[in-house]
Amino acid sequence: MPSTLRALLCLETLPKPIIRAESTYMVPKEKQATLCCQGSYGAVEYQLHFEGSLFAVERPKPPERINGVKFHIPDMNSRKAGRYSCIYRVGELWSERSDLLDLVVTDSWDTCLLTTETGLQKDLALWDHTAQNLLRMGLAFLVLVALVCLLVEDWLSRKRTREQASRASTWEGRRRLNTKTL
């Protein structure tokens, strides 16, 4: 039975492709991003869609030995940041659309240009994990210093109280000794 007829009779469905960024979904400005779309063996065409519109097409050679393709996006910028998806075709049958992948562009100050439903929007700076960890360690150090200060202050206070009690008892003993000798 030809694949077109099977598709029309809904006897055959293709698995949904998987889309992912090759290294990370956060791409530095003006660097290349690589998106991988994995489908089925025998796919003759893969399409990459950006914000719902066709962005790029790849035709693997030979299709029967390859189950995915890579889309290279050179010179990333804020206009190319957004939601990507992919589909593929085996014969005349198209797969359903993959899940969405949000691609984010970062500038040299780690400020991210994030996408929203309505387009691109510059959001608050998202720090990298190293900066966040350094901030947490700094705050933990300050809390530790404050606790040490409180312990030292308590120890000194107790020491003063003991010294005063010791002086008072010594003074009382001397006074009694002086009154007995008189």
CATH number of the domain within which 78 lies? 2.60.40.10
CA 66/CA 72 separation, integer angstroms: 17
Inform me whether the pLDDT recorded for 164 exceeds 50. Answer: yes
For residue 153, the model assigns a pLDDT of: 92
Domain membership of residue 102 (yes or no) is: yes
Average pLDDT value over all residues in the chain: 80
3-state secondary structure the chain: CCHHHHHHCCCCCCCCCEEEECCCCEEECCCCEEEEEECCCCCCEEEEEECCEEEEEECCCCHHHCCEEEEEECCCCCCCCEEEEEEEEECCEECCCCCCEEEEEECCCCCEEEEECCEEEECCCCCCHHHHHHHHHHHHHHHHHHHHHHHHHHHHHHHHHHHHHHHHHHHHHHHHHHHHHC
Residue 115 lies in a domain: no
Write the pLDDT tens digit of every residue in 122-138. Answer: 333 344 667 777 788 88
169 within some domain: no
Model confidence over 41-93: pLDDT tens digits? 999 999 999 999 999 999 998 878 889 999 999 989 989 999 999 999 999 99
Domains: count for the chain: 1
**pLDDT band for position 115 (50/70/90)?**
very low
Determine, yes or no, domain membership for 50: yes
Q: What is the residue range of 68's domain?
A: 14-106
Q: Is residue 150, in this structure, part of any structural domain at all?
A: no
Q: What is the pLDDT of residue 135?
A: 81
Q: How high is the pLDDT of residue 94?
A: 95
Asked whether residue 145 is assigned to any structural domain, the reply reads no
Say what the pTM is. Answer: 0.55
Residues 138, 125: Cα–Cα separation, whole Å: 20
Is it the case that residue 171 has pLDDT exceeding 50? yes
Residue 87 falls within a domain, yes or no?
yes
Q: Looking at the domain assignment, is residue 68 inside a domain?
A: yes
Across the range 155-174, mean pLDDT stands at: 81
